Amino acid sequence: MKNTARYYLGRVHKAGHLDQEGLIGAIVNAVSIERRNFNFTFTDAKVFGNKDSPNFIFARLAKYNPRAAVDVVRQEDHKEATANIDNLIDASSPFVFIPRFSGIAYQHISGRLEKDVFERAFSGLISKKYDNFFVSCEIEPITDLRTFIARLSKLEAVKRLQATVKPPNPLFGVCWASLKDYLISRNLEEVSVKEEAQPKGGINTNIQKIAEIMIQGEGRIDEVKKLLEPYMQGIGDAAVLMAADGYGKARIEGVEDKKTVIIHTRENQKSFVFGKEPTPDELYERAFAELQAINDERYLDH
């Protein structure tokens, strides 16, 4: 497994004046940002497919030291010395962005360029490109629905439920279609939902049942809709499931073995193991297959 790495899946959300062309432009014509003692930038960026409607964008997010000092051997006197090297790469994470899904697959480099660092640097680079002027960008994780539901099933009661979601583009999900319509009709950039149970008992949530129908469902989308209808009254449930599909974030507080536990959607992020140094086509094909499988399992559509 030495030549493999873990890649995480997320959705790229654009806000303010940022559009698809602007996002791609910020990757291809990159700036640099400084975070603590390192700089970050995009390298080796290339657009594949039609210029106006590309299939995918491949690039690397590079973390580098602008003023590095390394130990060297001076051959003339056979002594050790220190040499200064500008812009020494510390880590470089390959990624693909696939507009069809607003999806991104990015490599996690343990201890050097971990996924949360990647996400913050990616967002910072896009915003810096436009001087943070009415532009923002964020990567939201796509939750592994099976792991998330297995974790929720251990709760004896759900006491609090919070979710913040954003308009989907270009996909929508059958289990949160009404919430998507609400966001669009109200011209909202995001909406937050917070539910808290009465002191006795817990929230009457159907999240687990809805997700089970989605996971186990086989057949046409109209058949799945019919099975879901009795369980689709809760706006909080829709918001959590929308967040799980990569369109926001959610936090669920409940009771397990008489103890309070908190479950976040981002703790159960979808990922896959692949080569450390993939070609652009190889990484695209694997990421596309993973994202398409998520669409199929959750009945996401354009």
- What confidence tens digit (pLDDT) does each residue in 183-231 have? 989 999 899 999 999 988 899 999 888 888 887 776 677 777 788 888 8
Distance, in Å, from the CA atom of 175 to the CA atom of 160, rounded to the nearest integer, reads 21
Q: Are residues 261 and 213 in the same domain?
A: yes
pLDDT at residue 242, as a whole number: 93
Lowest mean pLDDT among 164-173, 215-224, 256-265: 215-224
pLDDT exceeding 70 applies to what percent of the chain?
98
CA 38 to chain centre: 23
The answer to whether 236 and 205 have CB atoms below 8 angstroms apart is yes
* Residue 134 and residue 24 in one domain: yes
Q: Taking residues 51-56, what's their average pLDDT?
A: 87
Domain that holds residue 151: 145-268
62 and 168 belong to one structural domain: no
> To the nearest 5 percent, what fractions of the chain are helix, strand and coil?
35, 40, 25
Q: Are residues 100 and 123 in the same domain?
A: yes
State the virtual CA torsion across 116, 120, 126, 127 in degrees, nearest 10: 160
Domain identity same for 46 and 118: yes
Average confidence score pLDDT of the chain: 91
Question: 154 and 250 share a domain?
Answer: yes
Q: How many of the other CB atoms lie within 10 Å of CB of 34?
A: 11
- Verify that 158 and 124 share a domain, yes or no: no
Report pLDDT digits (tens) over 87-143: 999 999 999 999 999 999 999 999 999 999 999 999 999 999 999 888 989 999 999
Residues 199 and 232 in one domain: yes
Residue 301, pLDDT score: 76
Lowest pLDDT segment from 62-76, 85-99, 280-294: 62-76
Same-domain pairing of 119 and 187: no
pLDDT number for residue 1: 53
What total number of domains does the chain contain? 2
Looking at the structure, do residues 13 and 134 belong to the same domain, yes or no?
Answer: yes
Is 166 within 8 Å of 136 (Cβ atoms)?
A: no
Confidence at residue 302, expressed as pLDDT on a 0 to 100 scale: 66
The predicted model scores a pTM of 0.91
b/e map of 228-260 (b: 16 or more CB within 10 Å)? beebbebbbbbbbbbbbbbbbbbbbbbeeeeee
Are 133 and 163 in a shared domain? no
pLDDT for 204 equals 93
- 18 plus 100 within the same structural domain: yes
Mean pLDDT, residues 57-86? 91
Alpha-carbon distance of 205 to 185, in angstroms, equals: 26
